[in-house]
Structure 1
């Protein structure tokens, strides 16, 4: 009789997991197949590197800056986590950042396009004529004809190619592009797709003195990546990764989140990219909403069961003790590597703390920020390249990608490694130097003085 009384309780306990199992089976059937055959990250030429002295010179060139803004920028650079080998656009290198031309933006994009796509087609042996789908994402530059059309013209692609040229999607655009390909693959068999992801820095350098807008100049750098994908299962032996799941979260309905990161003009009519004080709050909210949907798709049943039981016990104990501590999910039970967007040192620290990650887990994102800076939507692929160059990626491993973007958005996906990977890729000539043996901030020696000075007492160095 006592056992019969326990039956309703047992069914109530098992029902959520039975529902979850049915949901996962349905999602697996709908997911389809999406493989990455190869990806190529862009490394600009050495004459475009930005060292400490040049950073100081760029700031001094801006005659609109007062002493407080000057100190603010130097403090941001010193604490940014960026090193001396990031890349700036050619018009900034030549001192023309305040008067960019249309050709500056087009040249920056074409230099990246042709370098990565030439290598991509050569390395895979897949000719441009076999590409069925092309997705190009560059948020802040949309010329006519489109950037995608320029690629099609250059490589003489087929007339029936499915083309998507998306803009305004910010740093999370890579995974949006992957999602577009994933959905098209459901209706096209044995297709090839190319995703081209970058950001245009040349025409978007801010030359004003609004602190909410000059910060972007400290973090964003030149870069990009081209990715070749297929749903042809006969090519799975050649594939590097297989897409397991992808989750997109958009908080655009919230005015606060929507306005936390946007392109606008300052009071003097100078265009730039505004980052508000509400950005961390919007990012945190989007992040946890995204993880809430992602967790059931990627974590083992034992971890979900543990979380459910602990949550129920905490909830039962809250009424008597008043303790409202929220149990956390251990994502490391289902994920081997974490590919985090290099939005800045604070972003990496915050995500790492929320997920309970170690310095080993965060090292790829930190080193990518140091070496290449924030290359917007392409940052994730440089982080992935670091893992590969360090021979971390082994067959069967799961890699979680997490990105944030204006809107406000948080997008994530999980890739399964299809074979042991150890290509040196874009990191080949410098991977031995990362992480640095001595944790030295290259900007601290030159600009460290500004960290302790008060705004009204700062004097601008002339040497």
Structure 2
């Protein structure tokens, strides 16, 4: 059954142009081994009370991680940067393939239907990128166009969605997919510093995939695909906080490592209202008109800051909170884990609106407005 969508004032579309794309499928995956926070501390051999308190107060119960195997003495030796890159390739491809299969199954589509594949990652670098490896791994048509978004961080899933939404609109009726696959275990530094503690207490391996198809023109007879329509995007860069979240070379460890400024949750929270108001500008909508909020599981303090600054409730962000609890921060695909949980609830009704929100290095907030 095709759902007829009524658009708010300011979002009417020229009947001569294709309808905007709809999200018709989502899928997620994680790496094979699950750890509790205490098990991660034990694996790293960390007993410092200051560090353990960071883990204990993270609002995370479990995460999926791919840690080095312990030697005969039970010690997990730090991995060389080359080994970490190998891990990124193997884990990211495996999770990405699983997430894409699950996404297309939910969409009622086959790999052979795919016409554009965009892959997002920050936890490693390859040339050719992960998109080429996934096409080979899954036997996707060699003529499938592809793109890779590398190094943008936790916000990048919505950056990719915006780009691929444009591709789908320009190719009505053709299937496109975004795969966010983050082997965060391949970006770990194993030491007992507070800089490392913040990162090692938070991130987990995970991948999310989303499928898009743009509908046909109103005067055409082909039915529009089911799923929420992607209506609008809005971004906010915070240039003065460009170094607050970064993934750069750690000269002491002789490898790449993440850095998160302790103040970043409050900086991001303070700008959440700005970017959401920009997203809703000209639509006739207010924040109170948004029925579903799907926010990046950036961490407990980030979630709390978004709730306070947008005047939301814990129930509004229940999926975000649940994903953080069960998976930790899986970087660019986190919001897709929340979206999948919303779909599984089967509570979204035709005509309702949702806001997707991610945040990451830059510092950046990305948002999208969707309507069922």
Tell me the TM-score normalized by structure 2.
Answer: 0.85
After superposition, the Cα gap between the structure-2 partners of 1:92 and 1:375, relative to the gap in structure 1 and judged at 3 Å, is farther
Q: Which of 229, 248, 252 is residue 268 of structure 1 equivalent to?
A: 252
Q: What is the Cα-based RMSD across aligned positions, in Å?
A: 2.7
Note the 1:32-431 alignment, pairs <5 A. 32-45=19-32, 48-60=33-45, 70-83=48-61, 85-91=62-68, 96=76, 98-99=78-79, 101=83, 102-233=85-216, 234-236=222-224, 238-251=225-238, 254=239, 256-266=240-250, 268-270=252-254, 271-280=256-265, 282-300=267-285, 331-332=287-288, 334-417=289-372
Q: What CA deviation, in whole Å up to 9, does each residue of 1:208-263 have, x standing for no partner?
A: 34423431110101111111111134453x52221121112223xx2x31111112
Which structure has the larger Rg over C-alpha atoms? 1
Tell me the distance in 2 between the aligned counterparts of 1:232 and 1:31.
7
Q: Which has the higher helix share?
A: 1
Displacement of 1:116 in angstroms is 2.1
The aligned residue for residue 451 of structure 1 is: none
Quick check: 200-209 or 190-199, which moved more? Answer: 200-209
> How much has 1:28 moved relative to structure 2?
10
1:370 CA displacement: 0.7
Query: Is the 1:137–1:177 Cα contact (8 Å) retained in structure 2?
Result: yes
> Is the CA contact (8 Å cut-off) linking 2:23 and 2:229 kept in structure 1?
yes
Distance 1:269 1:175 in 2: 32
Mapped to 1, the partners of 2:17 and 2:151 lie a distance apart of: 28
Instruction: Supply the distance in 2 between the matched residues of 1:30 and 1:289 (Cα, whole angstroms).
Output: 30
1:431 alignment counterpart: none
Secondary structure of the 1:91 match is coil
Quick one: higher RCO (CA 8 Å, sep 6+), 1 or 2?
2
Q: How far did residue 351 of structure 1 move?
A: 0.6
Instruction: Name the TM-score, length of structure 1 as normaliser.
Output: 0.70
Matches within 5 A, 1:21-40: 24-25=11-12, 32-40=19-27
